[in-house]
Structure 1
Amino acid sequence: MGPVAFDASLWDEPTTGIGLYTHCLADGLEARGVRLERLGARVSGEDPRGRMGRTAYVLGRLPQVLRDSEARLYHALGNFNLPLVRIPGKAYVVTVHDLIPLLMPETVSRAYRWQFRLWLARSVQVADRILCVSACTRDDLLARHPEAEGKVSVVYNGVDHVDRHVPEATAEAFLRTLSLPERFVLYAGSLDVRKNVSLVLDALERLKARGRPAALVMVGQRWFGSGAVESRVERMRAQGHDIRSLGYQSEAVFFELMRRATVFAFPSKYEGFGLPPLEAMRLGTPAIVSTTGATPEVCGEGALAVRPDDAEGLAEAMDRLLRSDTERRRWAEEGKRQAALFTWARCADETLAAYEEVLRR
């Protein structure tokens, strides 16, 4: 099928969900013999953008790069970031992960919300194929852009990337310095309003009031609107709560924490896919998720689920798992069984099939 021009704009950046998707999908496609032209990475690939911003690169330089490329297809990976103009002889594919700036506008800046809205609308027009990472995201997209009907297909993410992250000596040494308690709750993700960290804190307060305090470890970067959560964490620490905020961590530390956690709490108000709880499930750590967004679709019967406003339900679920070996074993097995359905090989196969279908037109 010839080379594929591949959006590498997050290739050299700290790992996020879309960055992880970029690397894992690229590995899967290359394992199937697809030659990728990695375009727009900061310093690597076939056309590094250098100091140019990602938006400026896609709008200003990428169209000419595609004109000069022998690739017949360009795949944009970041929700909306296709060039605004069609290039003769080039097919466009875009992956849409979620519509959070439109569904939950308070969680992003006004400038980004408008950029997302306008650029997504244009990307829907120029795309030949739109890959959504869940049926939830597909339905959200079609509710706002019914004109995309016929272009959209669901291609789930994988989760088996966690298998290659074996415990490392440096990660284990770092974790020893933390003197973590034998049992603890782990939250991993950014600290924005959408992730609903406040519900986890509400649950901790309920448990402490009953004389059953729980330790919480938090891993994740600051994000738009995270200041309120950080201030509350400081107040709760002053009141005697055991809360460890570790910030952004390497994958080696992150996945080792997941393995060691007693329970993984992720009551996000909305996810377009919901990779962190699936990662925990793959590693055998019981997960608690919310009943909204794509997490019920992805986690299925492999995780406990509570409403995103149900602090009492979350407290009870956390307490059950912290106190019962039997409950933990049960949910660990259920989680592994569900997570086994999601592989990057399957994602690559279905993405490649979408490429081939577009190029046959």
Structure 2
Amino acid sequence: MSIGPVAFDASLWDEPITGIGLYTHCLAEGLESRGVRLQRLGARVSGDEPRGTLGRTAYVLGRLPEALRQSGARLYHALGNFNLPLVRTPGTPYVVTVHDLIPLLMPETVSRAYHWQFRVWLARSVQVADRILCVSERTRDDLLARHPEAEGRVAVVYNGVDHVDRHVPDAAALDFLRAQALPSRFVLYAGSLDVRKNVGLVLDALERLKARGRAVPLVLVGQRWFGSGAVEGRVERLRAQGHDIRALGYQPESVFYELMRRASVFVFPSRYEGFGLPPLEAMRLGTPAIVSTTGATPEVCGSAAPAVRPDDAEGLAEVVDRLLRSEEERRHWAQAGARHAAAFTWARCAEQTLAAYTHVLAG
């Protein structure tokens, strides 16, 4: 079946590339390489229907329905968990990607206002969606536990990870990294600093190791998020006590992925993920990753990354210490991780998304 123009949620197209924004760009590239013509709607300044100064929510609720009526698109694909129009646009089927249900599963990790927005809007999106794509079986199960009426309209389509291959450090990135004077061996955490990501467990493990005379340098890369103040305050206290912790904040891809390549070990003990892309990115780049036993990370990383419980600081300390001491073990996990991550490609994601479009259009 020929796929005509697809109206594509571009609300994060012009924003800093993280999470759903990365998914947006990589999926669009994969679909367009397969001949799908996308109409990018709702970007801030680019695309076919820029929203300008209008907020994302106001655009979807106010302007998007009319834009869809005028677009001639065969279907509309919303990419941000719940952001479908509240009413159906006649003749335009709806597809939505759900990445996770964390605001419902862990309401303490988001603002009260966002929790209620997510809950109400997701429920409505489930009602109006013709097809729901979940990025993992874990997310699918979470969704169906709360919305069993969606059974039969849900498909699992994994993210890709091969986008990391194209990012090499430019001169500015190399200058920045030289200025950091990073040690030859260090542990890296990359992601936001909110409570759910469980960075405190990494700090607990480092304190245990330092108490045994085994000081471990740590590099933190990621943006501030809801509830990140506690982690930032603790990092400053530990630095004052002599811990080597470099908090580099949000970094562009050229720096971000080069840090992943250079790290001895990547740690990601998140309490919950709907997919968990950062450890898979590290694995693709040949860096051994340590993950948690909860959420989708066991599903996504499989047996190619050692896992610890999200409350097991001693266990994390032991695995970090073991990997830093053994080049052979680091090599084992690096090779296993790279083999495993090779299966997660944006080409496969695009093919399966295109199959979902075809299913919807076939009626």
Same fold flag (TM > 0.5) = yes
Listed one character per residue, the Cα deviations across residues 22-72 of structure 1 (whole Å, up to 9, x for unaligned) are 000000000000000000000000000001000000000000000111102
Question: Which portions of structure 1, spanning 4 or more consecutive aligned residues, are displaced by more than 4 angstroms?
Answer: none
Structure 2 counterpart of 1:14: 16
Kindly report which structure 2 residues correspond to 1:108-187, keeping only aligned pairs within 5 A, or say none: 108-187=110-189
Kindly report which structure 2 residues correspond to 1:1-361, keeping only aligned pairs within 5 A, or say none: 1-361=3-363
Whole-angstrom distance in 2 between the partners of 1:335 and 1:327: 12
1:290 is aligned with what amino acid?
S
Whole-angstrom distance in 2 between the partners of 1:139 and 1:196: 23
Unpaired runs of 5+ residues, structure 2, are none
Unpaired runs of 5+ residues, structure 1, are none
Which deviates more, 127-136 or 321-330?
321-330
Listed one character per residue, the Cα deviations across residues 275-317 of structure 1 (whole Å, up to 9, x for unaligned) are 0000000000000000000000000011110000000000011
2:234 is aligned with what amino acid?
R
SS at match of 2:322: helix
2:278 is aligned with what amino acid?
P
Whole-angstrom distance in 2 between the partners of 1:67 and 1:245: 47
SS at match of 1:63: helix
Listed one character per residue, the Cα deviations across residues 188-243 of structure 1 (whole Å, up to 9, x for unaligned) are 00000000000000000000000001000000000000010000001000100000
Whole-angstrom distance in 2 between the partners of 1:274 and 1:73: 28
2:86 is aligned with what amino acid?
L
SS at match of 1:37: strand
Whole-angstrom distance in 2 between the partners of 1:184 and 1:51: 42
SS at match of 1:6: strand
Residue 167 of structure 1 deviates from its aligned partner by 2.8
Whole-angstrom distance in 2 between the partners of 1:323 and 1:55: 50
2:114 is aligned with what amino acid?
Y
Whole-angstrom distance in 1 between the partners of 2:17 and 2:154: 27
Whole-angstrom distance in 2 between the partners of 1:37 and 1:285: 37
Whole-angstrom distance in 2 between the partners of 1:174 and 1:87: 49
Whole-angstrom distance in 1 between the partners of 2:289 and 2:170: 24
1:116 is aligned with what amino acid?
F
Which deviates more, 168-177 or 245-254?
168-177
Residue 168 of structure 1 deviates from its aligned partner by 2.0
Count of aligned pairs between the two proteins: 361
1:214 is aligned with what amino acid?
V
1:207 is aligned with what amino acid?
L
